[in-house]
Amino acid sequence: MNTAWVGARSSATPSQLEALARAIRNTPIIDNHAHPLLKLEALSKHPLLSITSEAHNGDAVHSAIHSLPHLRAVRQLSELLKCNNTWEAVVAAIEQKRIDFPLEWTAQCLEGIETLLLDDGLDNEDDAQDMVWHNDYTRTECKRIVRIEKVAADIIKKIGKTYDASPKTGNDVLNDAYDDWIAAFDTIVNEAIDDPDVVAFKSVICYRTGLDIKSAVNEVEARTAFAEIIANFALLDFTKLQEDNLNDLVVHRTAMLIRDSPSKLKKAIQFHTGLGDNDITLAKSSPSHLQDFIRAYPTVPIVLLHAGYPFMREVGYLASVYEHVYADIGQVFPCISEDGQEQVLRQIIELCPWSKILWSTDGHWFPETYLLAITQMREVFTNVLSNYVRKGHIGYKAAIELVRDMLFRNSNKLYHLDIDFVELDEEPCAEVGPYASDLELFQLFLKDQPAPDFIRICWIDYTATPRMRMVPFRKFMSLFEQGKSTDISIPTAVFGLIQNDHLVPTLAPTGEYRLHPDFSSLRPGPTEGHVSMYGEFREKSGAPVALCPRSLLQKAVDLGTDNGLSFLLGFEIEFLLLERVEGADTSATLSLNSLNPFKHRPSEASASGRFSTLTTDGHAWSVSRYFADPKVSKLLRDMVHALDSMGIYVEQLHAESATGQFELVLPPYPPVQAVDTLLHTRDVMFALATAAGYKITLHPKPFATACGTACHTHMSISSPGGDKPEVYEPFYAGVLKHLRAITAFTYSNPASFERLRDGAWAGGRWVTWGTQNRETPLRKIEGSHWEFKAMDGLANPYFAMAAVLLSGIHGYMDGEKLTWGDCEIDPAKLTPNDRAELGVKDMLPASVEEALTALRGDEEFVGFSGQEVVERYCDVKEFEMEFLAEMGEEERRNWIMERY
């Protein structure tokens, strides 16, 4: 009974925080909005002071030296350039770089960028490098963003010059000129839509007439405004569109052309919002003005640039409620202070899903703008996200996915770039902040013990079969020290195999995943000379594999975190200890006769049997007699000592009811760590038992007339307020609501249903709960600390716990009512009236087949667990059932005992 840990809190480990910091350092950046760099000969024409300010001339730009962004930039650049911490010293050092190493310096400033999406519509375009030039500094070819107001203005200039050179013939000519303007604009936009080098359009209407775009353009007023421009072209010195109707028309026209284009992959329109130079009308720069426009074009992707600063929450809100709206958080790096940047990040992600957030440098003219943006972004991301992880607001793996989504994947998807995700190279043992690298942590782990022979990277498949790959230590360290990936290629068939390695007939042995070791799960053992850790499966792109059981549990943890819930799990490992029969035919299967609970001497074992029940006098639950046996006592002691040396501190160990049956109670951990620890502990126990001449089995019902063998799980909600009924009751109501579907994961074998009996302290057959009631599948202990009893050792615990947590979290999110009353007796003994009063109306499935039917039939459960996972799981289990059905009862029992 695992009660000592109620109310404990979880915390992030240094390894987890370093994994996050490493992801922030090594995730390649798709810079979704940037501008060309200046040609070398043009650099001196523009003030370098503008790298941290939107001011570009006069006293305003010179006042930038008295700003926090400027002081921070000086500090960072002086450290990198190894010069004095003054602006004058920084300028001198940069100028020297331009003279001595211009290409190398530019490459250093743009380091980490996968590709640039370049808006080439800045003023002074003759001073800027062309798009192709930038390809030398990125891993993938750069792409173009078409600035629509510049397109419109350039056509007007051409028409205006033609009009000035021809005789004026009145309104008909001006009307024709207007039509020509529209036609030319449409042609250029349509060509850009079809051009693979163009990935998006950009509007600076925020600078021109503001974001309060009218819902419809007045055609008469537009023609009149256009006519005035053309008729007075020579006098106006026309450079930019500054008339409301014409600016609105340009934006609407672009959106309509994108909307009506035949391609299903629509190109986005980026809108400058918020922060800008003094051309902007600040009152009309809030993205909230765009709401009507956003509603009018639901199929046109819209990107709100620059976090809308200072209107960050408006940007986050719009991106969160409109499917086609995305939030960019560029330009604030490096143009506002560090505290301000952290506030921007917090305010955007406080509401907006990170799948809708993009990042950009807004780099322009000077390579230093890119360098500062990237450097400061990594600092701020590390500070903010590490703090969230430490507080338990988000799991560290979810934070890593957030980083990869925001910096790479979201832009890759939105702009249809189809770039493979490949981490940036990193110098081995790089020191960043207070966190050591994975290599340093690994070396620290090995510091006080001899180098192992093998590194084991483990996983557990859909039949709960533990599997692993071993890498010789020397090879593993060689990969690590060279900065190469330690991921292992595994066939995608891994999630379609049953225990004899036969593949589900509907699947093909093609394709591969990457098994990625998680160093936070690193443990010595389970045998001498081995070190183990658990892995998660990833696609070649780096994305999590939807079918990966461990990733599904992490998904559940992250969903809980997103809803303010964190959890602790503690497992009770029940196991049956058998003696190996000396001289037995090791090729023979385990004899059922040798497991007769009334035969206690190895000599009474079947001649062909490999194992026999332990010798004991009067076995019963929690008796001390077993521990008088020196061999058994030593084995159990060695298990505890071995686990203790690995940092796994056993809480209790005692005899269970069946002959040779014991229970070992593990301490509580956060869910993924708890399952990793459970699986590693089993491996240690199995290895020690084998070395001592024993066999451990997790068979759920080894003896027909004795108690079965379970894997009971203690759960508590460890986040603040978790022990409040308004928090934990909806959670457990969600578990009960979906318990019949959950059973497909927790009772996953025909042997599981041999244990499922009333009156056997096995959790019973009814869907209900009870305070300290061991005949209910959910036993309430105290507050949010409940015991889940409907699980055994043949379940894949990642799947099982993911199913429980996802059900509970959705129950909490939906405010499920705990309509089941507190059942105080064995539910099997309730009268029909009692059951009606307590809301006890459903029974757990009676077979694997019935459980799979319940799983497939629970549409809500399938929805939040994932259709792909459910279908694959059902396919594998049905194929496994066909295989097991060909065996006789005794053969199947022996076969299961040999493998579990």
Residues 6+ apart with CB under 8 A from 4: 651
Q: Are the CB atoms for 574 and 710 separated by under 8 Å?
A: yes
In the predicted structure, residue 585 carries a pLDDT above the cut 60 = no
Confidence at 14, pLDDT banded by 50, 70, 90: low
Q: Which whole number is the average pLDDT over 833-852?
A: 89
Residues 6+ apart with CB under 8 A from 280: 206, 207
In this prediction, residue 700 carries a pLDDT of: 84
Query: Which residues of the chain does CATH 3.20.20.140 include?
Result: 14-122+130-414
Distances (CA, A) of 376 to 72, 334, 361, 428: 9, 7, 10, 22
CATH of domain 570-697: 3.30.590.10
Quickly name the fold that domain 560-567+724-777+792-888 has: Creatine Kinase; Chain A, domain 2 (3.30.590)
In the predicted structure, residue 804 carries a pLDDT above the cut 90 = yes
The model's pLDDT over 458-470, given as tens digits with 9 standing for 90+, comes to 999 999 999 989 8
In the predicted structure, residue 685 carries a pLDDT above the cut 80 = yes
In this prediction, residue 801 carries a pLDDT of: 92
Task: Provide the token pair at 190.
Answer: 């349509």
DSSP 356: G
In this prediction, residue 255 carries a pLDDT of: 96
Confidence at 553, pLDDT banded by 50, 70, 90: very high
The model's pLDDT over 192-212, given as tens digits with 9 standing for 90+, comes to 999 999 999 999 999 888 999
In the predicted structure, residue 614 carries a pLDDT above the cut 50 = yes
Helical pair 14-26 and 367-390, crossing angle rounded to 10 deg:
160
- What average pLDDT does the chain have? 83
In this prediction, residue 4 carries a pLDDT of: 33
In this prediction, residue 71 carries a pLDDT of: 85
Distances (CA, A) of 828 to 787, 821, 850: 19, 15, 20
Query: Which residues of the chain does CATH 3.30.590.10 include?
Result: 560-567+724-777+792-888, 570-697
Q: Which of 334-338, 433-437, 531-535 has the lowest mean pLDDT?
A: 433-437
Query: Which residues of the chain does CATH 3.10.20.70 include?
Result: 438-543
> How many angstroms separate the CA atoms of 243 and 230, rounded?
13
Task: Provide the token pair at 789.
Answer: 């009893």
Residue position matching structure tokens 């059932």: 881
> How many angstroms separate the CA atoms of 594 and 609, rounded?
6
Task: Provide the token pair at 145.
Answer: 């963003």
Report how many helices (DSSP H) and strands (DSSP E) the chain contains, helices first: 32, 23
In this prediction, residue 604 carries a pLDDT of: 30
Distances (CA, A) of 236 to 77, 168, 224, 232, 365: 44, 17, 16, 6, 29
In the predicted structure, residue 38 carries a pLDDT above the cut 60 = yes
Distances (CA, A) of 536 to 441, 514, 796: 19, 8, 14
In the predicted structure, residue 239 carries a pLDDT above the cut 60 = yes
Q: Are the CB atoms for 186 and 253 separated by under 8 Å?
A: yes
Quickly name the fold that domain 14-122+130-414 has: TIM Barrel (3.20.20)
Confidence at 169, pLDDT banded by 50, 70, 90: low
Residues 6+ apart with CB under 8 A from 531: 445, 446, 452, 454, 455, 456, 473, 522, 523, 524, 525
CATH of domain 438-543: 3.10.20.70
The model's pLDDT over 749-786, given as tens digits with 9 standing for 90+, comes to 888 878 777 766 666 788 898 899 888 888 899 999 99
Confidence at 19, pLDDT banded by 50, 70, 90: confident
Confidence at 165, pLDDT banded by 50, 70, 90: low
In the predicted structure, residue 808 carries a pLDDT above the cut 90 = yes
Confidence at 448, pLDDT banded by 50, 70, 90: low
In the predicted structure, residue 34 carries a pLDDT above the cut 80 = yes
Provide the whole-model pTM. Answer: 0.56
Q: Residue 469 forms beta bridges with which residues? A: 457
Q: Are the CB atoms for 751 and 700 separated by under 8 Å?
A: yes
**Phi and psi for 578 in degrees, rounded to 5?**
-120, 155
> How many angstroms separate the CA atoms of 337 and 70, rounded?
9
Q: Residue 530 forms beta bridges with which residues? A: 454
The model's pLDDT over 44-93, given as tens digits with 9 standing for 90+, comes to 777 676 676 654 544 445 676 777 888 888 888 888 888 888 888 888 88
Expressed in angstroms, the distance from the first to the final Cα of the chain is: 24
In this prediction, residue 481 carries a pLDDT of: 66
Highest mean pLDDT out of 387-391, 421-425, 858-862: 858-862
Confidence at 595, pLDDT banded by 50, 70, 90: very low
In the predicted structure, residue 587 carries a pLDDT above the cut 60 = no
